[in-house]
Amino acid sequence: MTIAVAVSGGTDSLYALLTLKEQGHNIFALHAHFLAPCKEREEAIGAMCASLDIPFHAVDLHEEFEQCVVEPFMNEYVQGRTPNPCAICNATMKFGALLREAERLGADTIATGHYAVLEDHPVYGRTLSRGHDPKKDQSYFLSLVPKSQLEKALFPLGKMKKEDIKAELAERGIVPAYPSESQEICFVPNDDYRAFLLQKGAELGTAGNMELADGTIVGKHNGLWQYTEGQRKGLGIAWKEPLYVIKKDLEKNVLVVGPKQELFSTGCTVSHMNYLVAPEHWGTKLLARTRYRQQPISVTLHEQNDILIVTYTEPQSPPASGQVFCLYDEDLTVLGGGIIESSLYT
């Protein structure tokens, strides 16, 4: 079996590369230019691989990345939603376009530096579950990747912790070409999505009213795209008690705000579910994450016209529409993932 190891030049992909080489696998390193090609970066990563006696290839995928990740990111904000481009990138690029290029170059599978666990289950088939490092676990961001693509993936770091990897590389005296951590959204300079969208000329919404649930006007918003459900800071409202963003009414261009007791929702609706384990194999206890840093919460659900209706066991602050919904069983095996459409309230 030939393994393509996706390398960015950072610590995680370097360790994955070394691990597979030392295990005796037939490997080559594969670097993708998702942004405009950078010759200096490619040469630095190529030199790193050459020093380890590992074949190196680079592919230019920046136009496809623009089409599959950047443009949908912009369109979601135009529609007043809050997208998760990293999850979309995993599904369409890292385990889509890059996997395609890896196979073109002769690979049977692709390995990455993701902190998640892939294992073969006697009933489920290939399963995805949480990484053993709780601070780095990336199963949430991988839940949209189709099962057929995960079957061609390897995650050598899934059962490791970041600090152990750093320590082991330091002990060996091996330095990554780009040791610093990557920024949150790779294509957004300084993580300033507002400046990025304005610079790209996205057709964003105009200012409108901030209103309480009963229609009382309490202020003006600067465009619904600049706000997220559950947000408290930065609203610029002088009121007798703190106000939070409850929801965004796109038809009326109204930002609905309210006190904390009105914030909590009882569930959400989810579309575009990517099932990694068939529902007939699910247990009775289901857990979910509606945001990355959230601890899994208990949920019940049913499907209605291809929309998943999710009910929380206990009320939760509302997730942002456009974010990822990741469903787990009680062993934290990922059952599937989808896109949050709206929050539900009693």
- Give me 88's structure tokens: 């979309």
* Residue 232 vs residues 23, 244, 254, 257, 267: alpha-carbon distances, Å: 50, 5, 16, 9, 20
Question: Smallest Cα–Cα separation from 243: which of 263, 271, 226?
Answer: 263
Q: Under DSSP, is residue 230 helix (H, G, I), strand (E, B) or coil?
A: coil
Q: Is residue 237 packed enough to be buried (19+ CB in 10 Å), middle (13-18) or exposed (0-12)?
A: middle
For residues 326 and 143, the answer to whether their CB atoms sit within 8 Å is yes
Q: What is the DSSP letter of 260?
A: G
Tokens of 144: 């949209």
| Known catalytic membership, residue 326 | no
* H or E stretch covering 69: none
CA angle 95/67/100 to nearest 5° reads 30
Structure tokens at 210: 């901030």
Dihedral sign computed on CA atoms, order 31, 36, 91, 128: positive
CA-CA distance, 135 to 265, in Å (whole number)?
Answer: 27
Concerning whether 186 is annotated as a catalytic residue, the answer is yes
Place of tokens 């009382």: 216
**Quick one: the chain helix, strand, coil %, rounded to 5?**
30, 30, 40
From the list 146, 147, 150, 169, the residue with the least C-alpha distance to 158 is: 150
Q: Which of 68, 89, 268, 326 is catalytic?
A: 89
Contacts of 97 (CB under 8 A, 6+ apart): 32, 61, 64, 65, 68
Measured between alpha carbons, how far is 338 from 274 in angstroms, rounded to an integer? Answer: 6
Name the CA radius of gyration of the chain, rounded. Answer: 22
Q: What positions carry a catalytic annotation? A: 89, 186
